């Protein structure tokens, strides 16, 4: 997969004296949803956060091996962290909108990047909210505080905020875990739409969600990549016995 959006090769990572990832090699294609599944503590979020260097903020973090974002070393010291994070957007487990208006949440990144022309900002605003499937719900309340909206709307606003910086990749760390079933369905619809244009890497504890939205799935266990492949194949006819035991609910 030479045009992969994200690649790790023999990635070892952890904190202090604990190895969380133990030689993980994986590739994420440039479009579509790739899901990371596995029991709690298996390294899913640590792997996800290597791609935008969010782990760097955590005490005792260490890493060996390659982490590539669109062919470039994510840890290249000449690549400014802000530029990397514009390219690799991220949405967290719990909605975390800024205590600003809907408009200012979405335009925070473009303004930070120096975009100041009002017509360009307006175009970014409409396009980002539309891609996040939120425009129709908020177009008459763009000046309202983001904190006034439901959890599901806030999470899609966070996706719109990430999209406003025109990333080629979006990382989603269990984005539906705090949402009700209706909001989750809406969010999954948004994810499927996005994946037609960009790479989406989704950490989920919910195997049904992975089956519904992911084109490819990678199963991690105790810091190692056990199996990776097309989602339908991995769930219906896994190659590894451990994968079969996990997806059929025998542990996890």
Q: What percent of the chain has pLDDT over 70?
A: 99
For residue 171, pLDDT beyond 90: yes
User: Each residue of 214-225: pLDDT tens digit?
Assistant: 999 999 999 999
User: Each residue of 128-141: pLDDT tens digit?
Assistant: 999 999 999 999 99
For residue 39, pLDDT beyond 50: yes
Edge-to-edge strands, sheet with 88-91: 88-91, 169-173, 199-203, 32-37, 216-221, 224-230
For residue 251, pLDDT beyond 90: no
* Nearest residue to 50 (alpha-carbon basis) of 158, 173, 162: 173
* Nearest residue to 155 (alpha-carbon basis) of 169, 139, 136, 172: 172
**What does pTM read for this prediction?**
0.95
Question: pLDDT band for position 2 (50/70/90)?
Answer: low
Q: 6-247: what fold? A: Rossmann fold (3.40.50)
């Amino acid at each position: 997969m030479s045009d992969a959006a994200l690649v790790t090769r023999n990635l070892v990572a952890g904190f202090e004296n604990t190895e969380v990832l133990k030689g993980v090699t994986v590739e994420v294609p440039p479009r579509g949803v790739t899901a990371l599944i596995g029991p709690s503590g298996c390294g899913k979020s640590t792997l996800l956060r290597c791609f935008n260097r969010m782990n760097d903020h955590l005490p005792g973090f260490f890493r060996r091996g390659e982490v590539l974002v669109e062919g470039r070393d994510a840890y290249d010291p000449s690549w400014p962290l802000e530029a990397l994070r514009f390219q690799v957007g991220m949405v967290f487990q719990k909605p975390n909108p800024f205590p600003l208006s809907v408009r200012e949440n979405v335009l925070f990144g473009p303004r930070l990047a120096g975009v100041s022309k009002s017509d360009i900002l307006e175009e970014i605003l409409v396009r980002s909210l539309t891609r996040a499937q939120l425009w129709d719900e908020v177009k008459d309340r763009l000046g309202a505080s983001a904190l006034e909206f439901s959890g599901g709307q806030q999470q899609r606003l966070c996706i719109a905020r990430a999209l406003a910086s025109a990333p080629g990749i979006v990382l989603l760390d269990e984005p539906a875990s705090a949402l009700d079933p209706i909001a989750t369905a809406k969010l999954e619809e948004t994810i499927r739409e996005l994946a037609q244009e960009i790479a989406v890497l989704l950490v989920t504890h919910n195997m049904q969600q992975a089956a519904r939205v992911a084109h490819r799935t990678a199963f991690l266990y105790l810091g190692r990549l056990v199996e990776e492949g097309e989602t339908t194949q991995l769930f219906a006819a896994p190659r590894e016995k451990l994968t079969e035991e996990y997806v059929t609910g025998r542990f996890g």
